[in-house]
Amino acid sequence: MPASPKTSRFSWSRLLWVLLALAVVAAVLWWRSRPPEVAGYRIEARHLVQNVVATGYVITPSRVQVASEITGTVVKRLVDRGEHVKAGQVLLELRADQTTAQLEQARAALRQLIEQTRPQAAAALAQARVQLEQAERDYKRAQGVFDAGGGSAQQLEQAQTALRNARQQRDSAQAAYAAVAPGGAQQRVLEAALRAASAVNARNVVRAGVSGVVLSRNVEVGDTVTPGQPLFTLAMDGATEILLPVNEQSIGHLQIGQQARCVADAYPDRSFKAQVNFLAPQVDRTTGTLEVRLRVPDPPAWLKQDMTVSADIVTAQRESTLVVPNEALRKVDGDHATVLVLRDGRAEPQQVRLGLRGLTLTQVTSGLTAGEAVIGGASVQAGERVRLQRLPLPAAAASATATGNDLPVPGR
């Protein structure tokens, strides 16, 4: 007896449900049997820059403490903080009543020598010479008369005595004049005394020993200062420098002459160029850092002493080179490492040779070609079937930082 239309429709419906159930089961089994999806990267060529980044502060080649050489009271202060001074410029004056009087006394003594004592000595010498000439004539006359038998021996002896006295007076006058003559002993003594008095008086004026900017002042009018007491601090003129305490792990990348770009915390939107010009000969054991100095050949006008600065030192760079993310590197040994490459759906180990290394990316010099896919992370084992979830290379690929330093700046 043929099946009714109602029975036929029921059979087809059951068949459809069965087929649908089988399809769902098959889909679930297929889904569960798929290889796990893992993060990976396509190898490609990039411009790679290796940097050392550190934070430091602005310094000058030298800071100079200005002090007084004597004890005195300040009567005038001529400069303030922030002003630029030249070498020899007067910074302040001390009360100089006593030393000024001593200086005037020394000048008067020298002036008296030149204007009075010396002319008097010259006149006395001239008179002594005239008297000597007269005594010599008298002696010759007396000698002639005595030889002719017309004079006595006593007269001749008196003439001889007068001649000796005249010579002694001439010699004394000559010695006296020599002492006060130009360049003589007395003039040298008085000039030395004048220089000493002038030097003492000059100490009442405190001058800048070098050209530079006044960073600080510690004195006011009316203060009594003592020798050695710091009155001013000057930042000596010269090339501005950036002092960086760099983590010792980075020093192998640094060399004199490397270029850097610096940014001050106060002006984050402005940068300026600098150059490595000093590497300290030893590491500070307390902080584990090396003192590095950058020379700023053209410092901006807004750059000030002790300003905090971040420096990005370019230690090496490669143009259009193959790079691999560091997280894909395994069994790193010097410049050799292993990566897992996706081949025929499996993670296959591949030996690679490394070049320039950074925190996020490393140059691959051999073992990989552009377009190959490497697997990141350490959860995947060699030979395992996997599917690749392609990720973009890290954003730092264009500027991979080798090592950084966020340590506190010492000596601040």
Per-residue pLDDT of the chain (412 residues), as tens digits, is 455 555 555 566 666 666 676 666 555 554 554 566 677 778 778 777 788 889 999 987 678 889 988 888 898 999 998 888 999 999 998 887 787 888 888 889 888 888 888 888 888 889 988 888 888 888 888 888 877 777 777 877 888 888 888 889 888 888 888 888 888 888 888 888 888 888 888 888 899 988 888 888 999 999 999 988 999 988 887 778 999 999 888 888 899 999 999 999 999 999 999 999 999 999 998 889 999 999 998 888 888 888 999 999 988 878 788 888 887 788 888 888 888 877 877 777 888 898 887 667 888 888 888 878 777 776 777 767 766 666 666 654 333 344 444 433 333 4
- Residue 339's alpha-carbon distances to 56, 201, 327, in angstroms, are 38, 81, 10
Alpha carbon of residue 38 to chain centroid:
51
Q: How far apart are CA 261 and CA 315, in angstroms?
A: 12
Q: How far apart are CA 184 and CA 205, in angstroms?
A: 32
Q: Dihedral through CA 342, CA 344, CA 347, CA 349, nearest 10?
A: -80
Which pLDDT belongs to residue 275?
Answer: 93
Which pLDDT belongs to residue 412?
Answer: 43
Q: How far apart are CA 129 and CA 167, in angstroms?
A: 8
Q: How far apart are CA 290 and CA 410, in angstroms?
A: 11
Element (H, E) at 15: helix 5-33
pTM of the predicted model as reported, rounded to 2 decimal places = 0.51
Q: How far apart are CA 190 and CA 116, in angstroms?
A: 14
Alpha carbon of residue 287 to chain centroid:
20
Q: How far apart are CA 398 and CA 23, in angstroms?
A: 49
Which pLDDT belongs to residue 193?
Answer: 86
DSSP code, position 116: I
3-state secondary structure of 316: strand
CB atoms < 10 A from the CB of 229, how many?
A: 14
User: Could you tell me which residues are beta bridge partners of residue 26?
Assistant: none
Task: Please name the amino acid found at residue 197.
Answer: A
Q: How far apart are CA 376 and CA 38, in angstroms?
A: 8
Residue whose structure tokens are 């008085």: 190
Residue whose structure tokens are 């200062």: 225
3-state secondary structure of 100: helix
Answer for the pair 402, 50: CB distance below 8 angstroms, yes or no. yes
Q: Do strands 400-405 and 44-59 pair parallel, antiparallel, or not at all (unpaired)?
A: parallel
CB atoms < 10 A from the CB of 227, how many?
A: 11
Residue whose structure tokens are 């402005």: 270
